[in-house]
Structure 1
Amino acid sequence: MHTLPMPERTVEPAANSRADLDLVIVTGASGGGRSTVAKALENVGYYVVDNLPESLLVTMAELAFESGEATRRTAMVLDVRSHAFTADLVGAVDDLKDRGFKPRVVFVDAEEDILVRRFEKVRRAHPLQGSGRILDGIAAERELLAAARETADALIDTSHLNENQLRARVEELFAPADARKLRITTLSFGFKYGIPLDADFVVDVRFLPNPYWIPELRDHTGTEEAVSQYVLRQPGAEEFIGGYAGLIASTASGFEREGKRYVTVAVGCTGGKHRSVAIAEALALALRDNGLSAYPHHRDMGLE
């Protein structure tokens, strides 16, 4: 997307220390949506360096630190096609931390069958499949990326997100406000579409009556007042929200001490349209009342 300029000797760094540089590293599965994430980061003010080899990660971070206000917020999208990718990335991130940087690593991923369909749709080979099948390339990449996925600060499951939804998700996570605080996403979903890969907590709200069986509510969603009130007025709903908000709030300081910056609370019902949506909205509000940065996101709303 951009070529990072070489700094002039007279330029003073915009950040007082390397820890002040807002540095994001994007990696993940081929076909997972790295390019869309990069565009979304540009939308919220990041200077994006695309297709960067991991061997240049430290060098580019140092250049960003020295290059002034234009690169105060920098994102680097790493190219997976290096066969030393995993070891180099984890080691490079550790090197950045040793030098005083505080990078955030974002890993994009998707379910195997979704990745296959995406490659078939664009009629492209997987970069690691060689003479084999797309599935062979995905399997090789999964092994290559295992350590990077495990150590990522944020895991974004793009399986059920279109391009606009993924862009909105990234913009929610990386908007300038509260950039260094723990950010909590209450993610509604439908169990029939699968549990989100990026969930830190999974909440099942199928113990509540389903508005689907109320004819006047069936075609509406949990973001609408009639459905929301129906769900939230059910016995146990308010107690559930209050109790779970308290549980998450009690863990927030521990997550921050451990350096975790993103927590996803997945709230599930059958179809991801009524109960989970209403509870995810109410839970985000309750978490904000507890002084936390929390935002609802609805993965499966609109699929039915």
Structure 2
Amino acid sequence: VVDLALGLEIERLPEPQFDVLLRRKVRVIQIDPFSVSATAKIRYALKLVTGEVMSFEMNPSKITPETCPSETVVLVTGMSGAGKTTALKVFEDMDFEAIDNVPLSLLGNLVLGRQKPFNAPGLSRPIAVGVDIRTRDFGIEAFFTRYDTLVSAGEVEAKLVFLDCDDEELRRRYEETRHRHPLAADRPVADGIAHERRLVLALRDRADLVIDTTGMTTGEFKRLLQGNFTSPPENSLSIFLTSFSYRRGVPRSSDLVFDVRFLSNPHYDESLRDQTGLEEAVGKYVSRDPGFMEFFDSLTHLIEPLLPRYRAEGKSYLTIAAGCTGGRHRSVFVIEKLALWFENTGQKVQVLHRELANSP
């Protein structure tokens, strides 16, 4: 019996652990219907409780999603408030089975026993599991024991992703949402954050991928995960170009950053001040700078030989950022011109003008 009813907000008696159906005693499993992959939790819970694959048949889907191989298992952990719930939703959009806060004692059975669920070939998908300090029986040593077991079993490709965030932004997020930090209790949020950071430091050191979500938009976060965990063609490199304002900080996901504040600034031309680097007049103004063409040629000559080296290294994405004072004129034009250069070399790129995207 699976109870998908919303929990009442008033006090009530403990939920029954068993029910009687057709004169048989059946275990009751209570699941929040709006949590990540509630149906997946049902399947795994039943499988773990009974110890065997369910017997009813399912018609396998004819659609083969272009995602990670089915043997991929991603464990998502990190600082509370750094974006684990968002990450799991992104993984779910990428056709992962996404499950949050699975008890560590069940992790091995869930992952290693999940190939071909329901005994139906072709239904297996990659899985993303959220694990943090709120997980039942969580402990650093226990976590590494389970994780090392997954890796040494050789049946799956296990990846550990650690989500980090600046302490001040974590504090602000908790204050804005009015959520209580799991380790703060009656103490200030900052104390809970500091305590947690000490506890999870070893996880960060062992992670295959560390993502700092400080100042990162949901779109940037999604793009970063997709760049790492979708299955692009062999040796492909996804290239992202972004312009930004130094007043608002350098995008943390940037691999290569170029400061273009030395170029002539259209801001001081009143006829161009309210325009952007997307406008032809602004582009002509910046291009007339005596040093522009020499700079741009040097820029492309620097980038071009790096691309095959990044591909050979197995890098799946590359973010190139250009910044100026306001992020609306010079950096926008440089990124647009760089995008055109990539296009002329036969490479597809994605472009984001951060300050224009954030404009009212």
Superposition TM-score tier, normalisation by shorter sequence: 0.7 to 0.9
Q: How far did residue 42 of structure 1 move? A: 2.1
Change (3 A) 1:130 1:303: same
Q: Is the 8 A contact 2:75 2:128 kept in 1?
A: yes
Q: Is the 8 A contact 2:132 2:138 kept in 1?
A: no
Q: Is the 8 A contact 1:208 1:237 kept in 2?
A: no
Equivalent residue for 1:203, pick from 252, 258, 268: 258
Change (3 A) 1:33 1:65: same
For the aligned residue pairs, the C-alpha RMSD in angstroms reads: 4.0
* In the alignment, structure 1 residue 42 sits paired with structure 2 residue 92: yes
Helix, strand or coil for the counterpart of 1:239?
A: helix
* Structure 2 counterpart of 1:74, one-letter code: I
Q: Is the 8 A contact 1:186 1:296 kept in 2?
A: yes
Q: How far did residue 231 of structure 1 move? A: 4.9
Helix, strand or coil for the counterpart of 2:115?
A: helix
String of CA shifts for 1:37-95, please: whole Å, max 9, x gaps: 22222223222112234554443332343325444232222233358555555565554
CA distance in 1, matches of 2:208, 2:339: 20
Kindly tell me the number of residue pairs found equivalent between the two proteins: 298
Equivalent residue for 2:294, pick from 223, 233, 236: 236
String of CA shifts for 1:8-28, please: whole Å, max 9, x gaps: 58999x9xxx96524333223
- Using CA pairs under 8 Å that are at least 6 residues apart, name the structure with larger relative contact order, 1 or 2: 1
CA distance in 2, matches of 1:291, 1:95: 44
Q: Is the 8 A contact 1:161 1:299 kept in 2?
A: no
Aligned to 1:24: 74
Aligned to 2:128: 75
Aligned to 2:18: none
* In the alignment, structure 1 residue 255 sits paired with structure 2 residue 330: no
Decide which structure has the larger Cα Rg and report it: 2
* In the alignment, structure 1 residue 96 sits paired with structure 2 residue 150: yes
Moved segments of 4+, more than 6 Å: 9-12, 288-293
Helix, strand or coil for the counterpart of 2:190?
A: helix
Compare the two structures and name the one with the higher helix fraction: 1
Q: How far did residue 134 of structure 1 move? A: 0.9
CA distance in 2, matches of 1:242, 1:136: 47
* Structure 2 counterpart of 1:48, one-letter code: A
Q: Is the 8 A contact 1:155 1:198 kept in 2?
A: no
String of CA shifts for 1:233-285, please: whole Å, max 9, x gaps: 733342143123225315314532xxx54544443332333333444455466
Q: How does 1:129-278 map to 2 (within 5 A)?
A: 129-163=184-218, 166-167=221-222, 170-171=225-226, 174-175=229-230, 177-178=232-233, 181-222=236-277, 227=282, 231=286, 234-253=292-311, 255-256=313-314, 261-278=316-333
Q: How far did residue 183 of structure 1 move? A: 4.0
Q: Is the 8 A contact 2:112 2:156 kept in 1?
A: no
Q: How far did residue 136 of structure 1 move? A: 1.4
Q: How does 1:82-121 map to 2 (within 5 A)?
A: 85-89=139-143, 92-98=146-152, 99-121=154-176
- Runs of 5+ unmatched residues, structure 1: none
* Structure 1 counterpart of 2:262, one-letter code: F
Helix, strand or coil for the counterpart of 1:218?
A: coil
Moved more, 93-102 or 163-172: 163-172
Change (3 A) 1:188 1:46: farther
Equivalent residue for 1:33, pick from 83, 88, 110: 83
Give the TM-score of the pair, scaled to structure 1. 0.74
Q: Is the 8 A contact 1:217 1:226 kept in 2?
A: yes
Change (3 A) 1:41 1:240: farther
* Structure 2 counterpart of 1:148, one-letter code: L
CA distance in 1, matches of 2:162, 2:108: 19
Change (3 A) 1:118 1:296: same
Helix, strand or coil for the counterpart of 1:38?
A: helix
Q: How far did residue 299 of structure 1 move? A: 4.0
Q: Is the 8 A contact 1:160 1:300 kept in 2?
A: no
CA distance in 2, matches of 1:153, 1:286: 33
* Structure 2 counterpart of 1:23, one-letter code: V
CA distance in 1, matches of 2:279, 2:105: 50
- Runs of 5+ unmatched residues, structure 2: 1-35, 48-52
Moved more, 69-78 or 178-187: 178-187
Moved more, 262-271 or 135-144: 262-271
Change (3 A) 1:184 1:124: same
* Structure 2 counterpart of 1:236, one-letter code: E
* In the alignment, structure 1 residue 59 sits paired with structure 2 residue 109: yes
CA distance in 1, matches of 2:223, 2:271: 30
